[in-house]
Amino acid sequence: MMEELPGSVVVEILSRLTDSTDLARCRVASKSLNAVSYEVPWLNVVCSMSRYLKSRSPETKHLVTPFKTVFADLVRRSANLESVSLGVDRALGGVSFDDVEDESDDLYLTDFNFIRGWLPSVSHALKSFSVSDFWVQSCWRRSEALSLISSTCHNLVKLVVRNAWLSVDGLCLMPTLRYLTLEFVRLDDEDLSRINACFPNLTQLDLIGVGGLKEPKINLLHLTTCHWSVSNAPLSLIICAPCLVDFNLKCIKPRLVVLEAPSLSNFSLSLENTDDLRLKNCANIRSLQLNVECASLGFLCHVFRHCNAVKKLTLDLVGRIEKVAVTEFGLDTLLNCLPNITYLNLGPGAWHVMENSFSRGGLEDGIGMKMIRELVAHLVVHEMGVTLEFIFSVLEMCTNLSDVSLLIHRDVDSYGAGSLISACRSKFPRVRWKWGIWKEGIKDTWVSDGI
């Protein structure tokens, strides 16, 4: 019987439950389980879609205990909590304003008064706090939850807030905070000055779809990892982070992007045009992923001209690629600009432009052509002869190229795809060929592996 086990063992077992509603069921199962359950160091409570629908239905809503009441009861006697996570099921993100006819706040989880009712009692031991709000109820209610969290949770290391409108009024210094995630949040901090000042020791920062920013600047001395997906079109983005190693940036048409990160090694950039992109002291980038809309290869080469340490490059061009100056966007020019690339992955836009450039001017030899060892390419075959000639020329000049993976668009007929594969294998038997299929919006499918 579980009741006969030592208390420490029972706590360990209960700590492995992933949903605290199961913990609540254990509390009513027996007095002994109820007693030790309050020693579990975490709570994870999620309002499911089925619970939400039952709470809204006239036939069943009187049978459903309010979600906030359930959570408050669970947290009430748990004095040594290290981690608290509460939120709504992701499926509730599909609920629209048309589906809600009143001004209920039963799932408004960043409500200052609600959090004030339980957080101070557990804040002393709390190291991780995550709240995923219900956007329909939270988006028009400005919350001061951040000020309460920062003033009471003096040992907090990780903070996650999703689907909320957050004020930074009264925000206090949190020197212990290392990990911060704000996702689909409206933030009243136009330039991120309060975030920089009050969370100075962040090592990981995720800003996903954060609105309300105009000229945001990240200035964090200890930041090593950052994922920034900008939801609107701010005037400028400035990132100054001397310890930043991994950076994933996605933004739309900023006038200015400035990045100063001397330790940066892995950089992923998805950018829909910009007037000015500046890299300062970013010469140590080794892995570079670019999904960009730009007017020419000259722009990219100018921006990354000092990034000679790049070994792995993934490149795709988006938008109206016919505007790109094809005479200057050749594979040879790219590899001369970044001469130490050993792995190259070309998306369909980049491959199409480079194939067009080749058909008009051929390829020129260079030191960069000798360095590449592995090539991945997404093909849209418009003219079989041109595509094959381009592939053959690449293989003839890139003498150290040993692994080639070609993904052929799904709309290319099987006979044509088979002919291309046979011709490549026959012409260059020294190469390990890998074949696959790609299509917009679908994960790549590999057909063969290392033939």
Identify the three-state secondary structure at position 323.
Answer: helix
Q: What are phi and psi of 350, to 5 degrees?
A: -65, -45
Residue whose token pair is 């003498």: 399
In this model, does residue 345 exceed pLDDT 90? Answer: yes
Q: What pLDDT shows up at residue 11? A: 62
In this prediction, residue 41 has a pLDDT band, given cuts at 50, 70 and 90, of confident
Place of tokens 């009741």: 3
Beta carbons of 177 and 200 less than 8 angstroms apart:
no
Lowest mean pLDDT across 19-28, 287-296, 333-342: 19-28
Percent of the chain with pLDDT over 70: 86
CB 254 within 8 A of CB 274: yes
Residue 148 neighbours by CB distance under 10 Å: 20
What pLDDT does 326 receive?
47
Q: What is the pLDDT of residues 51-93, one digit of tens each?
A: 888 988 889 988 888 899 988 888 877 777 899 999 999 888 8
**Among 53, 173, 199, 423, which Cα is nearest to 182's?**
199
Separation of CA 30 from chain center: 43
pLDDT band at 342 (very low <50, low <70, confident <90, very high): very high
CA-based end-to-end distance of the chain: 57
> How many other β-carbons are positioned within 10 Å of the β-carbon of residue 278?
13
Average pLDDT, the chain: 87
Structure tokens at 355: 């194939």
Q: Is 382 exposed, middle or buried (0-12, 13-18, 19+ CB in 10 A)?
A: exposed
pLDDT in tens, 275-319: 688 999 999 999 999 998 865 667 778 888 889 999 999 999 887
Which amino acid type is present at position 179? Answer: Y
Instruction: Tally Cβ neighbours within 10 Å of residue 387.
Output: 24
Type of residue found at 324:
V
The Cα 274–Cα 294 span in angstroms is 8
Residues listed for the chain:
451
The per-residue pLDDT for 322 is 55
CA distance 404 to 16: 45
Render pLDDT for 116-149 as a digit per residue (tens, 0 to 9): 999 999 999 999 999 999 999 999 999 999 999 9
Task: Compute the chain's Rg from CA coordinates.
Answer: 27
Q: How far apart are CA 212 and CA 209, in angstroms?
A: 10
- Rounded CA-CA distance 395/431 in Å is 9
